[in-house]
Every structure is written in structure tokens, then in C-alpha cells.
């Protein structure tokens, strides 16, 4: 058995990339079930309020699922390049492949896809996850033992604890703070939904503004990675590539703006036309005049009076007392 002749005593079969994250799939399915459950009550709502309730439910659950899903996505920042690079250690064989680095709040995904996928009698399609843990060096050692391709090992080594670039420290702490503020935004979103069902619409608007604020705080926390000293990634014949903000970052920005707009509109409308907005959200209006309720003209059943006997009032005569003069 030789070292590299299509039989891999040290290299197991490559791990192909997953189609969709199981965490994200679970989150989306849970929120879809909740959304359809709430939409089942729409036939019981009459008039124009039905359309308003539908948009309210859809927008509310959209904001909720985005806030939760952003904690588990791996494309807050990413970088991609196409290069010719050596494929395995102890071999001069080169492959043409697309190398990608995808940064999330809990770790990084490193992808490697060949052009074409089948090269060197092997399917080149990798997607490897490295999480921000104290054991990231052990994950890197495990990747070395499994014989992952050189481009993946090169990028993963940049995020180890002892690497001179020190990327792991800033990326790990910025991701933790961003995740913490996102969970706080999710709590504010839940409180806002509870307040929207009560006659305190003004405070519900305040909580939507707070939700937007914490989403912006999470973005600001993640943006601190841009303050790191430049650490270039150079793979094969391609030039250096750096990470740029990606889909999750811009989705967080759009969701934060949406929450801010909703919160400001609710606060303004509650100050200008409080009765109208309470009517729109189907909540009662506190009014002291409601205590005096006029039921109009009533009718008394005479059958109840038949069994009622009245006794005449008797006059109580007090004795006269004569006082001595």
C-alpha cells in the first residue's frame, strides 16, 4: 500500500457540504407552525381587521425568526477566491478550486469546491466547521489527523490560539457579545408582542424601539472585527482575500430598521390618535365614563311579584312619660 495512489490509508473520504443547517431548519419550522396556528383564527375576525391581523402576525413572526436564526447563521462575513493550490500534504498535486471563509457568531465555516468537482479521482467538496471554543486547537489537530486539504488547514490555522494574527480572540468575543445582544432583542420582541395585546400600545412601541436598538448593538459588536490588524490570507496563485460583510449582517440591519420604523410609528400614532390605534389593535380604551352604564328601559316579570307579600308598616306608639315639675 503506497501513500497516495487512490487508496488513502491516512485520508478518509472527504466530507461533502450540507445543503441546509439543521439548526436553521428547526427554527424556521417552529416559527412556521406557530404562524399557521395563529393564522387559523383569522376566519373568526370580521371586517377589515382581518387583513390587519394577518399582516401583524406575519411581520411579527418574521422579526422573531430572523432574530433567532441570526445566532446560528455562518455568513455574517465571508471571503471567497478561486485559486490553484496544492491539495494534500506531502504531495505536489494541485487543484483548481473555490475557497470560501464564512464567519458566524459561534465559529467559521471553511469551504472548498473543485472546478470541476471531480479532480485527482476524488470529489472535492468540503464544508468544515470550527467553533469558538477553548478546544479550537484540538479541532485543528483533529483536522490534521483527518488529512483535510491544505487550503482548509491554512485558514483554520489562522484562528488557533497560538497564531500570531490573534484572530480568534477578537472574533470570539465580538461574536459572543453580538449573540447576547441578539437574545436580548428577542426578549424585547416577546415583551412587545404581549404589550400589543393590552391597552398599553405606547409601551409596546417603546419595546419595538428597544428591539431595534439591541439589534444595532449586535451589529456594532460584530463590526469590531474590522479594527483588527490586517492579516492577509494568501492561498496558491490567487492574491490575498479579506472578509466582507455578508447576508446575515445586512439582514440584521434591515430587521433593525423595520423594528425601528414600527416602534416610532406606534409611538407617534398613540400620541396623535390613541383611540384609533387602540381600535386597530382591538384593545379596550380606559374611560371613567364607562363606569356609568345605561341599560335603557327594562321589563319586570310579574310572575316573580305574585309570590311576594308585603306587610303594612305598623306604627310604633311610644309611652308618654310625665316628668315631675
Between residues 134 and 18, the one the model is more confident about: 134
E-strand stretches of the chain: 77-86, 94-103, 107-119, 122-131, 244-245
Grid cell, residue 240, equals: 490575498
Residue 130, domain member (yes or no):
yes
Residue 90, domain member (yes or no):
yes
Residue 126, domain member (yes or no):
yes
What pLDDT band is residue 250 in, cutting at 50, 70 and 90? Answer: very high
Mean pLDDT for 177-192 is: 94
Residue 93, domain member (yes or no):
yes
Residue 88, domain member (yes or no):
yes
Give pLDDT, residue 301.
59
**306-325 confidence digits (pLDDT tens):** 655 555 555 555 555 555 54
Which span out of 22-26, 75-79, 213-217 was modeled with the highest average pLDDT?
213-217
Q: Could you give the number of structural domains in the chain?
A: 1
How many CA atoms lie less than 13 Å away from 278 in the CB half-sphere? Answer: 16
- The percentage of residues in the chain with a pLDDT greater than 70, rounded to a whole number, is 76
Give pLDDT, residue 309.
58
pTM over 0.85: no
What domain range includes position 143? 77-165
Residue 86, domain member (yes or no):
yes
C-beta of residue 72 within 8 angstroms of C-beta of residue 27: yes
DSSP label of 290: G
Residue 121, domain member (yes or no):
yes
Residue 286, domain member (yes or no):
no
Between residues 322 and 270, the one the model is more confident about: 270
> Is the pLDDT score of 218 beyond 90?
yes
6 contact partners, CB below 8 Å, separation of at least 6: 121
Neighbour-count burial of 238, counting CB atoms closer than 10 A to its CB (0-12 exposed, 13-18 middle, 19+ buried): middle
Amino acid at each position: 500500500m503506497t501513500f497516495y495512489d487512490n487508496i488513502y490509508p491516512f485520508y478518509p473520504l472527504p466530507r461533502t457540504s450540507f445543503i441546509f443547517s439543521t439548526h436553521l431548519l428547526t427554527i424556521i419550522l417552529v416559527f412556521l407552525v406557530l404562524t399557521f396556528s395563529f393564522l387559523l383564527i383569522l376566519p373568526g375576525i370580521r371586517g377589515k381587521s382581518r387583513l390587519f391581523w394577518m399582516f401583524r402576525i406575519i411581520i411579527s413572526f418574521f422579526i422573531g425568526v430572523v432574530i433567532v436564526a441570526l445566532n446560528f447563521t455562518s455568513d455574517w462575513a465571508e471571503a471567497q477566491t478561486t485559486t490553484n493550490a496544492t491539495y494534500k500534504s506531502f504531495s505536489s498535486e494541485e487543484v483548481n478550486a473555490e475557497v470560501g471563509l464564512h464567519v458566524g457568531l459561534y465559529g467559521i465555516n471553511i469551504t472548498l469546491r473543485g472546478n470541476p468537482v471531480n479532480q485527482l479521482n476524488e470529489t472535492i467538496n468540503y464544508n468544515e466547521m470550527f467553533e469558538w471554543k477553548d478546544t479550537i486547537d484540538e479541532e485543528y489537530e483533529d483536522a490534521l489527523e483527518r488529512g483535510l486539504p491544505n487550503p482548509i488547514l491554512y485558514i483554520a490555522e489562522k484562528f488557533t490560539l497560538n497564531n500570531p494574527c490573534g484572530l480568534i480572540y477578537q472574533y470570539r468575543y465580538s461574536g459572543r457579545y453580538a449573540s447576547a445582544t441578539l437574545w436580548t432583542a428577542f426578549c424585547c420582541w416577546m415583551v412587545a408582542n404581549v404589550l400589543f395585546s393590552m391597552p398599553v400600545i405606547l409601551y409596546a412601541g417603546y419595546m419595538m424601539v428597544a428591539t431595534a436598538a439591541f439589534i444595532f448593538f449586535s451589529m456594532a459588536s460584530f463590526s469590531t472585527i474590522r479594527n483588527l490588524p490586517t492579516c492577509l490570507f494568501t492561498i496558491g496563485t490567487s492574491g490575498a482575500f479579506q472578509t466582507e460583510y455578508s447576508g446575515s449582517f445586512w439582514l440584521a440591519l434591515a430587521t433593525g430598521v423595520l423594528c425601528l420604523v414600527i416602534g416610532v410609528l406606534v409611538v407617534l400614532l398613540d400620541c396623535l390618535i390613541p383611540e384609533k390605534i387602540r381600535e386597530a389593535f382591538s384593545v379596550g380604551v380606559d374611560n371613567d365614563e364607562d363606569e356609568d352604564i345605561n341599560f335603557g328601559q327594562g321589563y319586570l316579570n310579574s310572575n316573580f311579584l305574585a309570590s311576594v307579600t308585603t306587610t303594612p308598616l305598623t306604627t310604633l306608639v311610644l309611652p308618654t312619660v310625665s316628668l315631675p315639675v
